[in-house]
Amino acid sequence: MCAADSPLRLRVQFTKQGQARYLSHSEYARTLMISARRAGLPLEYAGTNMSRMKVSLSPPLPIGVTSDCELVDFNLTSYVPAAEACDLLGKATPDGIAPAKCRLMGPEAKPVGKVIDTAVFAAAFPETVGGGELEDAVERFSEMSTLPYQRVQPRRTRTVDIRAGVHGLEVVGETEGRVSLKMTVDDGIAGTIKPWEVVEVISGMAGIGREVWQQAEVNRTGLFSRRGDRLISPMDAGAGRSGAGRGARGVSY
């Protein structure tokens, strides 16, 4: 490690599986920060002598949902190779959370929390649910221009247009006898459609009972910035451009 010429941001893609899926967003954030401290990374803090780490996290994942793609930016005070950071983090994270990729970003890169607006989820239904009934519901859903959904939250209940927040929806092939619903939804700076809301609506349209669809296993497979019809991964954004720090330009692990 050596001093950085300019501020560095280490962008890490973590997976969140197993029992880690029961961690809330704040618990997960705390877990990552403690992991980064245990890894011995040269972390930047806000202010002097304050244990406030400069991090930026991707949008919250609902409790119980697993993920192949949770993104975090750690601000660093000195250069550390992405591969070394990945290795150090791998040893410091608890079971269920593991770094999949690391990349050094330049100072001009926006924090990950400010660029993500879209997520892709896959909801694997129980074996008792057939693809046909879901496909029909998906087709009818796609033909709609608007679909009000009552979102009940602890402090307020409001109506959102769930259709407007779903940008892609398809039933994907059966794996291990289970069909999955793949959905591309608003998630992040543009608003959030929760995967369970889509599962509930589609299941309702397909006549699938609550006790069945609640057994679906939901996994976030990707996080993106939407540019028209294109989905750009923050892990790839700006790849090959300058400013990624000495010796780390466009390199990811």
Residues that bind other proteins (CB under 8 A): 18-19, 22-24, 26-27, 30-31, 34-35, 37-38, 43, 45, 47-51, 63-64, 92, 94-96
Q: Least Å distance between CB 191 and other proteins?
A: 24
Return the number of the residue (143 or 211) whose C-beta is nearest other proteins: 211
- DSSP lists the bridge partners of residue 163 as none
DSSP character for 203? Answer: H
Question: Could you tell me the smallest distance in angstroms from the CB atom of residue 188 to other proteins?
Answer: 24
- Which residue's entry shows tokens 């039933």? 171
Instruction: Decide the pairing of beta strands 230-232 and 166-175.
Output: unpaired
Q: Which is nearer to other proteins, 30 or 227 (CB)?
A: 30
Q: Which CB, 45 or 168, lies closer to other proteins?
A: 45
* CA gap 211, 222 in Å, rounded: 27
User: Between 53 and 244, whose beta carbon lies closer to other proteins?
Assistant: 53
Closest approach, Cβ 30 to other proteins, in A, equals 6
Closest-CA residue to 99 (of 76, 74, 123): 74
Task: Write down the least CB distance from residue 210 to other proteins, Å.
Answer: 13
Distance of alpha carbon 12 from alpha carbon 235, whole angstroms: 8
Write out the two tokens for 167: 């940008």
| Min CB(35)–other proteins separation in Å | 7
Residue 228 backbone zone (phi > 0: left; psi -120 to 50: alpha; other: beta) = left
- Cβ at position 43, least distance to other proteins in Å: 7
251: part of which helix (H) or strand (E)?
A: none
Cβ proximity to other proteins: between 23 and 137 the closer is: 23
* Burial class of residue 227, CB neighbours in 10 A (0-12, 13-18, 19+): exposed
Nearer to other proteins, 39 or 235 (CB): 39
